[in-house]
Copies of this chain bind each other. A is one copy, B any other.
Amino acid sequence: MSTKQQIILLAHGSSDQRWCDTFEKLAEPTLTSVAGSRVAYMELSSPSLQDVVAEGAARGIRQFTVVPLFLAAGRHLRKDVPAMLEELEHNHSVSIKLQPPVGENPELGQAIRHVVEKTLSDS
């Protein structure tokens, strides 16, 4: 990974801090493993996607990859986020690649199976 690329884990955001706490815990293994990766929020929580891209661009990053911490793509990922990214690319002269939501990766389905099996063995 080039030091000029940054991974952004994008969560929705909420006025409820407990919501964000869960996403920060979810992101922790990635943040520990992937140098320079950050969490950012679409709305209601900080840091915002706009702030994280602006900070990265100010440090010379020209390529961002956004990995949505969403299980599936709804209106936000199909419309709102692409529009936000297009504006950010224009404003900061950077390139931003939007990945599919993490829930579309088979790894998540396997993890869910493990969670359910653990639930059953504990009950």
Q: Give A34 to B11 CA distance when docked, in angstroms.
A: 30
A-B contact pairs, 5 of them (CB 8 A): A29-B112, A34-B116, A34-B117, A70-B71, A110-B111
A3 on interface, CB distance cutoff 8 Å = no
Contacts of A120 in B (CB 8 A): 1, 7, 34, 65
Number of interface residues of A (CB under 8 A): 51
Interface of A is mostly: helix
Instruction: Say which residue of B9, B74, B108, B119 sits within 8 Å of A111 (CB atoms).
Output: B108
Q: Mark A52-75, 1 if CB is under 8 A from B, else 0.
A: 000000000000010101111110
- CB of A92 within 8 Å of the partner chain: no
